[in-house]
């Protein structure tokens, strides 16, 4: 497989994850209206920037940073792939934290899209690791 196809596949996964993160029903969100009044809904990863669970917006910001790193490291400079792997692992971990917070803290609010986003970002980690490692 040529280097151009590798770089396109490495760029394609975080772009797909970013599109899913911007959907309006991808992130479980609970707003507290009073001591006994909680409203549970789903929102975009960008929307809960003002609440306690900041792992969603951080995941979104890291996904955008990952896309920028892929373009700079993979397509322009053709080096710095260790940093690209570190950013992809950090993004996958934050995506896992966003998903686990919604499962652990609220027990009944869980979205399939957050699982797909996590799997896409884990696939990105594996793809970066296996496509840029040196053959020994």
Average pLDDT, the chain: 78
What pLDDT sits at residue 101? 74
pLDDT at 88 over 80: yes
Chain-centroid distance, C-alpha 81 = 18
What is the spatial distance between Cα 38 and Cα 23, in angstroms, rounded to a whole number?
23
- pLDDT digits over 13-64, tens only? 899 988 888 887 777 666 666 677 666 666 777 665 555 567 778 888 888 9
CB 131 within 8 A of CB 10: yes
Burial class (CB in 10 A: 0-12, 13-18, 19+), 117: buried
Q: How confident is the model at residue 122 (pLDDT cuts 50, 70, 90)?
A: very high
pLDDT at 99 over 60: yes
Write down the pTM of the prediction: 0.81
Q: How confident is the model at residue 120 (pLDDT cuts 50, 70, 90)?
A: very high
């Amino acid at each position: 497989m040529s280097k151009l196809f590798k770089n396109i596949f490495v760029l394609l996964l975080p772009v797909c994850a970013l599109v899913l993160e911007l959907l309006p029903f991808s992130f479980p969100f609970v707003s507290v209206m009073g001591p006994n009044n909680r409203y549970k809904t789903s929102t975009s990863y960008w929307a809960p920037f003002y609440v306690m669970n900041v792992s969603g917006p951080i995941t979104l910001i890291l996904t955008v940073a990952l896309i920028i790193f892929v373009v700079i490291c993979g397509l322009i400079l053709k080096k710095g792939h260790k940093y690209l792997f570190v950013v992809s692992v950090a993004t996958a971990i934050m995506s896992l934290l966003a998903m686990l917070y919604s499962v652990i803290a609220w027990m009944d609010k869980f979205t399939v899209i957050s699982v797909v986003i996590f799997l896409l970002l884990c696939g990105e980690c594996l793809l970066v690791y296996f496509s840029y490692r040196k053959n020994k």
